């Protein structure tokens, strides 16, 4: 994977291109490529820190940094007032994990091993949390159809965001610190890294450096999103739904597919489910509150009807797949088909509805 690590050279290239006022697409491409290994290093550094802190604190750290790259990208997008792109990236991350990555994992694992089995009780917790979060995200949109006052709609979104964060805190406590967490022994979404564990200083140094690099690359990327999307004929809505989630979550996605190929489907589902749950329960409400401070205009939780339909379809299919405790390659093809159908619809969707 040396070629993958070499993609970090995209960061200095992007900086030089920015200084020389090079075409926007060169900055976008170079910074996007640099974000791929940086996201991987955040995950790797988090794993090694987790091995030094114990299972409970390590699990909390994994949950906190699971979507760090995408969170940083969206915060910079909020600063530039790209609220629609941020909301689209939330939708894209959830359907990307529940449809694209879970689908690819089922196809890869099912093709090699046939039917793959997992513990449906553990995935059921994630399915319940996703349905709860998506229901909470749908209510502000329904409320907006009868209430036209923008200030009141924003207040409703803030209230929902706070409640989602409190529920996520309870979920984290239950999953990693409660007596039930120790008795259920759910699989680790990110197992201990292979080889000799790093020292805590080295692990923290890699994690800090990767986060810093992600901050720089994200600023460069977001700065040129508007001109690049216009030059390619893409709406910011489509870029947020497809491009940003893939860039921000590539390391997790690769890990999920790798575990499925090793016939460890329970770990693949755990990665996809943990990431989707964190996006819906933590990242989305956190961005609503953060927008009050960093954005020129606040962000709400009012999503487009087509986004809500796709999100609920994704959650329903995830719950159905997790119900019987097994997957096969045909279910993977069905998940991929729905993702591609959604991507086609989003591609032709006008930028402003």
Structure token digits, residue 13: 């290239």
Structure token digits, residue 49: 């820190």
* 8 Å CB contact between 126 and 274: yes
Per-residue pLDDT of the chain (353 residues; tens, 9 = 90+): 677 788 899 999 999 999 999 999 999 999 999 988 888 888 788 778 777 776 556 656 766 676 788 888 899 999 988 898 899 999 999 999 889 989 999 999 999 888 988 877 777 777 787 888 888 888 888 888 888 888 898 899 999 999 999 998 888 888 777 776 556 555 544 445 556 778 888 888 988 898 899 999 999 999 898 898 888 888 878 888 888 888 877 777 777 888 888 888 888 887 888 888 888 889 999 999 999 998 888 899 988 888 899 998 888 888 888 777 888 999 999 999 999 999 898 888 875 44
* 8 Å CB contact between 213 and 11: yes
Contacts of 143 (CB under 8 A, 6+ apart): 153, 156
Residue given tokens 């409703």 in the structure block:
156
Residue given tokens 């040129």 in the structure block:
224
For residues 76, 16, 252, 65, the Cα torsion angle rounded to the nearest 10 degrees is -50
Reported in sequence order, the residue ranges of the chain that DSSP labels E, i.e. its strands, are 116-117, 326-327
Q: What angle do CA 116, 321, 87 make, to 5 degrees?
A: 125
* 8 Å CB contact between 42 and 248: no
Provide the 10 A C-beta neighbour count for residue 42.
Answer: 25
């Amino acid at each position: 994977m040396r070629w993958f690590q070499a993609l970090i050279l995209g960061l200095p290239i992007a900086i030089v291109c920015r200084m020389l006022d090079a075409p926007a697409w060169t900055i976008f491409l170079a910074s996007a490529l640099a974000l791929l290994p940086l996201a991987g290093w955040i995950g790797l550094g988090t794993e090694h820190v987790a091995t030094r802190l114990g299972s409970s604190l390590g699990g909390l750290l994994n949950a906190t940094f699971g979507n760090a790259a995408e969170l940083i990208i969206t915060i910079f997008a909020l600063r530039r007032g790209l609220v629609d792109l941020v909301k689209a990236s939330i939708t894209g991350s959830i359907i990307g994990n529940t449809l694209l990555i879970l689908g690819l994992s089922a196809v890869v694992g099912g093709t090699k091993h046939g039917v793959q089995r997992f513990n449906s009780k553990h995935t059921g917790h994630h399915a319940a949390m996703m349905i709860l979060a998506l229901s909470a995200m749908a209510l502000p949109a329904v409320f907006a159809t009868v209430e036209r006052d923008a200030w009141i709609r924003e207040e409703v979104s803030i209230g929902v965001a706070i409640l989602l964060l409190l529920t996520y805190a309870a979920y984290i406590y239950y999953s990693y610190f409660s007596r039930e967490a120790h008795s259920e022994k759910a699989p680790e979404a990110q197992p201990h890294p292979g080889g000799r564990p790093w020292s805590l200083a080295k692990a923290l140094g890699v994690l800090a450096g990767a986060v810093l690099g992600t901050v720089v690359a994200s600023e460069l990327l977001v700065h040129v999103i508007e001109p690049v999307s216009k030059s390619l004929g893409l709406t910011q809505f489509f870029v947020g739904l497809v491009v940003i989630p893939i860039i921000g979550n590539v390391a997790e996605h690769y890990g999920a597919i790798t575990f499925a190929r090793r016939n460890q489907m329970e770990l693949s589902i755990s990665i996809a489910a943990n990431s989707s749950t964190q996006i819906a329960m933590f990242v989305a409400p956190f961005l609503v509150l953060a927008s009050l401070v960093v954005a020129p205009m606040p962000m709400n939780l009012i999503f487009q009807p087509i986004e809500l339909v796709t999100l609920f379809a994704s959650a329903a299919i995830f719950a159905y797949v997790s119900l019987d405790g097994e997957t096969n390659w045909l279910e993977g093809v069905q998940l991929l088909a729905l993702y591609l159908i959604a991507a086609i619809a989003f591609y032709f969707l006008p930028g402003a509805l």
